[in-house]
Structure 1
């Protein structure tokens, strides 16, 4: 700042010196020129009077050589000149001052030398005989005077530089010291110049804005940190050298590491070569992904390159648990294969029987049996298609119309619908407990009770029973279907709700089961936010419990 003040003071001083010198010189030059012109005019009057009275003799008698005096005839011939031989001088008829004198009686003119450093003032006057007396004086121009003042002005400017330097030090110290003592953290509490008050107010305003922005950034950072800390997905940020700069708890768990990994190369934490190749691919192509298996789970590791203005800044790694998705896809493929098989089996049986009948390979007395077989397989096929449609609807989780449903009424309807089937096996269906009413989809609730009771009859013993019990316990409405049938082996119990799974395939084929009944029960219960549990002992029977959340 001292340099700026010095330059400013010096510039002002030099400009002022130059201006003052030039201004004063101009005024003085103008003043003295005016005086000299007045003296020249007066002197011309004296000379004219002398010439008119004394002629050439008067001019020769003049000893004053300050002025040049020239006597010019009316035709321009020089008759006399006090400084040059008149006979050698050119005709002056075309001189401006001579022409004016001959025409108006008086004339004047100023002419400059070729170097512009000298100027000559000419005054002329016509006398009685018609000739002209001219008087002139030469003087230095302002430019010549300025050149002559270069040395004094240089000395003056040098003095100005010295004084400016001293003045700048003093002024800058006085000006800068209060500025250096400013507390910019508390701008409005400073006792400084009034002129910088607007600046201090602006700084205070900037501080408030910066504080607000910092607070906002901190809040966003905290929100981002809280978000990634509570994510189920694993998130890792890498720099351009693959060093870990951020990792959330989920990622630590997936890759089996701790906060100590921060700053380390990710490939020293995850030594899987495939992961390293995937990161390299992402850096080349922008994105890449790979499936990782960890702790019995499938993770889709997506890697995206981070870049700005064409420069690679790092990468972000996101590990998403896709186990359920993969299992669902696997189940879908298995289901498709099973559906194809289950549909193909009765169709092949129907086609086989029809071909035998078409080729007259069936005896007349066996014809009813073959027709009955075709009808039975067709019914099985229809039941299978209907069950598949029901499951598809449940898988799509469609919104269905709900109503207030009495489970006791549904149990009674189920008992009536299965009465003939139960009588064929001499199985008794009993209903007990209190009436439970809940909001639900009537058709799905009927499927739950019907399928559980139907299985209880199909896989029961001769003379057995199926008990339907309704009760309320601890905020839940409970439906229990218990039979005295063949039971289910312990190693098969975890799979009975799978689609097309049959505990006893031969018995299922005989009874016309599709293998989808319990899967429908499970999905229908899930639609109502209910849980289904099984208790079974081989040879003693099975107990299915469906627990519905009670409505307030």
Structure 2
């Protein structure tokens, strides 16, 4: 019940009690009065007094209620303004942090407490739980804590690179002010893959230059011998064949580099429905001469499978895998090929009884130009498995290897 109503009821009760006492006392003092009309007059006067009090109550407290409502309205407006400001601040903070998607983000308030840290930041900097939210307790890398401290002191942006847990990290600390409070935004970017890619590109051009320089030098030497007529007849024919082989190698090397570049930039031909069984059998027919030369036994388990994709991709994939199975196989060895569809996925398996791949090499064989030591005597660009891996990735698939040195190698591709 409203407090004002309680006060009025209490006052009315008090007046009624006083009237009752007055009637009793008056009757004791004047017992001779027996006319009830006099009591009726007193009752009317009492009720009139109560009514007057009620009118006065309404007039007074209605003004009070209006004033109170006005105060409440002002307080409500102020609270709404405060909440709107707070929401706006949070929205600005979230908008600022969302603009750094994919990077580690930490927001530290003016009390030096971490009020936000995304999953990337927690993993990259190994942020731990603590009794307090202070960044000094939750972060363990002294150099980064010193960088944050410096940003608080100078209110200047800081930018440093660190080597942490075998990762190359770039850490930016940015001073920002919100509602007169000094916040520090920490942005962590993992540069490890970018640096590795730069190194790979560097190695790529270095290796490409080396691989092309040697056959070009040999070709020039042969050409000069022919030009000067130092060689002729059968010898010239033999050298011409060697020159053709070198030209074929360089052409294959350039084709592989262009293919790899196309796959890395996700450009290629139109997708079409491919009869993979026919394509695989045609590829085997292309290598039939090499298979017969090594007296390799081929065992097939191929189903009728169609797939929507770029024909050039799957032609290259089958060629790379079959060529490796022949090239690194032993005389009178065996190749087993399986092509099926299982659980709505394409499954291609190729097994050979060749030189195998050592355990320590298995994680690296899909790198560009990486060649297992035991396979270096065989001609090749070192790009075949890298291209195969990129093709599989293009179709969101997976390639795995199972091998034992000098016994067998088994590749499984699931797309």
TM-score, scaled to structure 2: 0.72
**Structure 1, unpaired ranges of 5+:** 1-177, 183-189
Residue 392 of structure 2: aligned partner: 525
1:338 is aligned, of 183, 207, 217, to 207
Deviations 1:173-229 (A, max 9, x none): xxxxx9xxx9xxxxxxx84358759946853872684487379559859x949x88x
Match of 2:133 in 1: 262
In structure 1, which of residues 531, 541, 544 is the aligned counterpart of residue 408 of structure 2? 541
The 1:252–1:486 alpha-carbon spacing in structure 2 relative to 1, beyond 3 Å, is closer
Matched residue SS, 1:447 = helix
Q: State the alpha-carbon separation in 2 of the partners of residues 215 and 260 from structure 1.
A: 26
Report the Cα distance in structure 1 between the residues aligned to 2:71 and 2:132, rounded to whole angstroms: 47
Q: Deviations over 1:277-321 (max 9, x none)?
A: 697489769433222222222222122232589x99353211122
TM-superposed deviation, 1:260: 4.2
Which residue in 1 is equivalent to 2:237?
368
Match of 1:354 among 219, 223, 240: 223
Question: For 1:318, which of 158, 173, 187 is the aligned residue?
Answer: 187
Q: Which residue does 1:461 correspond to in 2? A: 330
Distance 1:484 1:547 in 2: 22
Who is 2:146 aligned against? 276
How far apart in 2 are the matches of 1:263 and 1:400?
55
Which residues of 2 match residues 485-524 of structure 1 at below 5 A? 485-503=354-372, 504-509=374-379, 513-524=380-391
Work out the CA distance in 2 between the residues paired with 1:541 and 1:478.
Answer: 19
Cα RMSD over matched residues? 3.8
Deviates more, 1:421-430 or 1:332-341: 421-430
> 1:378 and 2:240 equivalent?
no
In 1: Cα distance, 2:362 partner to 2:140 partner:
41
Give the conservation status (yes or no) of the 8 Å contact 2:169–2:188. Answer: yes
Residue 393 of structure 1 is matched in structure 2 by 262
Whether the 8 Å CA contact 1:261–1:269 is kept in 2: the answer is no
Q: CA deviation digits over 1:454-508, x for unaligned, max 9?
A: 1111111222232221123344221111122222222222221111122245432
Q: Secondary structure at 1:495's aligned position in 2? A: coil
Matched, 1:288 2:158: yes
Moved more, 452-461 or 498-507: 498-507
2:147/2:173 contact within 8 Å kept: no
Matched residue SS, 2:378: helix
Q: Are the aligned partners of 2:108 and 2:135 in contact in 1 as well (CA < 8 Å)? A: no
The residue number in structure 1 matching 2:105 is 235
CA change 1:267–1:526 in 2 (3 A) is closer
Contact 1:235 1:319 (C-alpha < 8 Å) held by counterparts: yes
Aligned-partner SS, 2:396: coil
Measured in 2, the distance between the counterparts of 1:191 and 1:440 equals 81
Change beyond 3 A, Cα 1:279–1:499: farther
Listed as ranges, the matches of 1:89-488 within 5 Å are: 191-192=62-63, 196=67, 199=70, 203=74, 206=77, 209-210=80-81, 213=84, 216=87, 220=91, 224=94, 233-238=103-108, 243-248=112-117, 250=119, 251-253=121-123, 254-260=125-131, 262-263=133-134, 269-272=140-143, 276=146, 280=150, 286-306=156-176, 313-362=182-231, 364-398=233-267, 400-488=269-357
Shift of 1:393: 0.2
Change in 2 beyond 3 A, CA 1:356/1:261: farther
Q: 1:261 to 1:356 in 2, by over 3 A?
A: farther
Kept in 2, the 8 Å contact 1:502–1:508? The answer is no
- TM-score computed with the length of structure 1 as normaliser: 0.55
Q: How many correspondences in the alignment?
A: 352
Q: 1:202 to 1:210 in 2, by over 3 A?
A: same
Contact 1:487 1:542 in 2 (8 A): yes
Say whether the 8 Å CA contact 2:128–2:139 is kept in structure 1. Answer: no
Give, in whole Å, the separation in 1 of the partners of 2:235 and 2:155: 71
Q: Which has the larger radius of gyration?
A: 1
SS at 2:142 equivalent: coil
